[in-house]
Amino acid sequence: METDLNSQDRKDLDKFIKFFALKTVQVIVQARLGEKICTRSSSSPTGSDWFNLAIKDIPEVTHEAKKALAGQLPAVGRSMCVEISLKTSEGDSMELEIWCLEMNEKCDKEIKVSYTVYNRLSLLLKSLLAITRVTPAYRLSRKQGHEYVILYRIYFGEVQLNGLGEGFQTVRVGTVGTPVGTITLSCAYRINLAFMSTRQFERTPPIMGIIIDHFVDRPYPSSSPMHPCNYRTTGEDTGVTYPSVEDSQEVCTTSFSTSPPSQCVFTVTKAHFQTPTPVVTDTLRVPMAGLAFSHQPAALGVGSADLAYPVVFAAGLNTTQPHQLMVPGKEGGVPLAPNQPAQGAQADQERVATYTPSDAAHCAATPSSSEDTETVSNSSEGRASPHDVLETIFARKVGAFVNKPINQVTLTSLDIPFAMFAPKNLELEDVDPMVNPPDSPGTGSPLQGSLHSEGSSGGSSGHTHDDFVMVDFKPAFSKDDILPMDLGTFYREFQNPPQLSSLSIDIGAQSMAEDLDSLPEKLAVHEKNVREFDAFVETLQ
């Protein structure tokens, strides 16, 4: 039985397989460039679109593929493999996928080469287009940028699946039977991606400090030492704050849980220090938001020592990494920046009270002159204060309009960071000899009142100044290098509006009582004017 192909068919088949291999590589690599692919349909055949599909040919990729094939074709035992791997900016790399174009011995002698085989190869390429968007590496490759890039490597010979880790999965794209063997296209992909992230972050110190802003184009510079916390520098050169705001590392809020009530805020009160202002920081619970970034055009890079080619250079992957914790020293100048490892230790980060005994002592020694502290919200900031101490008042809003006794709030709320300091500081305030306001005690009470209202508005106020570490606050979407007044500054300046007087317990209670008393009078007045009101209502209808 004549089963051999005639020479024309054989030549055609070889050509088909060769170009199929080249197109396969193009599809795979282009799918990992990190951007959406779009090609146009054309009703008139151009003659150069193999398999009737518009697949662009990136010259470097073709060159590499041809080099790897070296004139050979996939055959039994000789497969063409495209390896997709990920390489971080620190140099760690990890294989993500291996795409294999294999040939086995099972022949389909009956099949027509120029027609059926060609069309089936075309169908297989379409399947490849669909499948390349479906494996996990696709989403990774769409998000590549500063943190990592996706590389590819083509080799010919035996398939090596060792680098994929344990438990890798395989997906078969399809098969096409030919008279010389069956072509199989498949992909083995790693599923254990978690390995990568922990490994990466364990080995490398976080270079970025806190990045809440996911969309910054440039990699964040390494954290500078101490920075003032967010305070309103009245009387001080406001220009000073802005540069520090840029690379300040503080955060003002702790965990905002999804359930509305508990929200930890701190307000900063300002006073002058002779020595540079201490940094007050707080912990930030930064969610590992994964891979978020902004797109930039891809560029194919060429040439690396080990035949792996970076597929894209795009900008800006930012993972939010836990903040750097800065503890103010006594002189206010010593930065302590323990770099916290990212993901694994995230849970531990949540309430880290990084204070040292020396700082606590400092705290006690510093006259916590509450009357001198001016809350940011307080409009009377021009007031001279004998002790120009930069302090923070830690206020916890338990919920709007909730009036709770201060101590109760602090003791029961376990999730305020530094909660244990809050009541203590109140006590300090009470015993402090300097608490006496400069004015007479009578007029001192509004101040006290405002402080109390501050506290009673929802929570514990405390002078938790030196015990807190300030972390940078970089709001998402803000660009801090263009305008001096950016979102972050705005937020910091206006985050602590003055308490509504009606919310304070005493004043609130009083006014409530007054309101109740005046109700009968008001009702009487309204009844007198009932006709007017009715007429008014009718005009509305």
Q: Which parts of 488-507 interact with other proteins (CB under 8 A)?
A: none
State which residue, 116 or 445, has the beta carbon closest to other proteins.
116
For residue 279, the number of C-alpha atoms closer than 13 Å in the C-beta half-sphere is 32
Phi and psi at residue 81, to the nearest 5°: -125, 140
State which residue, 138 or 421, has the beta carbon closest to other proteins.
138
- Binds other proteins (CB under 8 A): choice among 15, 63, 106, 172: 172
Closest contact distance (angstroms) between CB of 262 and other proteins is 17
Q: Which parts of 92-131 interact with other proteins (CB under 8 A)?
A: 115, 120, 122-124, 126-127, 129-131
CA distances from 298 to 33, 142, 290, 295, 312 (A): 7, 11, 21, 9, 5
Closest contact distance (angstroms) between CB of 372 and other proteins is 44
Closest contact distance (angstroms) between CB of 9 and other proteins is 17
Structure tokens at 221: 């510079």
Closest contact distance (angstroms) between CB of 131 and other proteins is 6
241-270 footprint of other proteins as x/- string (CB under 8 A)? -----------------x------------
The CB-based long-range contact list for 302-307 (8 Å cut-off, 24+ gap) reads 302/60, 304/151, 306/153, 307/64, 307/153, 307/154
33-62 footprint of other proteins as x/- string (CB under 8 A)? ---xxxxxxxxxxx--x--xxx--------
Closest contact distance (angstroms) between CB of 308 and other proteins is 24
Q: Which parts of 383-422 interact with other proteins (CB under 8 A)?
A: none
**Number of Cβ within a 10 Å radius of residue 32:** 27
State which residue, 45 or 91, has the beta carbon closest to other proteins.
45
Q: Which stretch binds other proteins (CB under 8 A): 32-40, 299-307, 469-477, 511-519?
A: 32-40
Closest contact distance (angstroms) between CB of 118 and other proteins is 10
Q: Compute the distance between CA of residue 433 and CA of residue 454 in angstroms, rounded to an integer.
A: 21
Q: Compute the distance between CA of residue 275 and CA of residue 466 in angstroms, rounded to an integer.
A: 14
State which residue, 145 or 177, has the beta carbon closest to other proteins.
177
State which residue, 34 or 459, has the beta carbon closest to other proteins.
34
- Is residue 19 a contact partner of residue 52, using CB atoms and an 8 Å limit? no
Q: Which parts of 272-311 interact with other proteins (CB under 8 A)?
A: none
- Binds other proteins (CB under 8 A): choice among 63, 106, 139, 199: 139
Q: Compute the distance between CA of residue 392 and CA of residue 375 in angstroms, rounded to an integer.
A: 8
Question: How many residues contact other proteins, by CB under 8 A?
Answer: 38
Q: Which stretch binds other proteins (CB under 8 A): 172-180, 363-371, 437-445, 532-540?
A: 172-180
- Is residue 108 a contact partner of residue 184, using CB atoms and an 8 Å limit? no
Q: Compute the distance between CA of residue 65 and CA of residue 71 in angstroms, rounded to an integer.
A: 10
- Binds other proteins (CB under 8 A): choice among 76, 134, 483, 513: 134
Which of 314, 338, 315, 334 lies closest to 325, judged by CA?
A: 338
- Binds other proteins (CB under 8 A): choice among 15, 63, 106, 133: 133
Structure tokens at 127: 């399947």
Q: Compute the distance between CA of residue 531 and CA of residue 173 in angstroms, rounded to an integer.
A: 82
Phi and psi at residue 120, to the nearest 5°: -70, -35
Q: Compute the distance between CA of residue 285 and CA of residue 298 in angstroms, rounded to an integer.
A: 33
Closest contact distance (angstroms) between CB of 74 and other proteins is 17
CA distances from 436 to 339, 369, 433, 445 (A): 42, 9, 7, 10
CA distances from 507 to 143, 362, 407, 456, 520 (A): 54, 35, 19, 11, 21
State which residue, 257 or 304, has the beta carbon closest to other proteins.
257
Closest contact distance (angstroms) between CB of 197 and other proteins is 16
Q: Which stretch binds other proteins (CB under 8 A): 30-38, 155-163, 375-383, 387-395?
A: 30-38
State which residue, 48 or 274, has the beta carbon closest to other proteins.
48
- What is the DSSP code (8-state) at residue 324? B
**Kind plus residue range of the DSSP H or E element containing 353:** none
State which residue, 143 or 492, has the beta carbon closest to other proteins.
143
Closest contact distance (angstroms) between CB of 487 and other proteins is 22
Closest contact distance (angstroms) between CB of 200 and other proteins is 22
Q: Strand, coil or helix: what is 432?
A: coil
Binding site for other proteins (CB under 8 A): 36-46, 49, 52-54, 115, 120, 122-124, 126-127, 129-131, 133-135, 138-139, 142, 171-176, 258
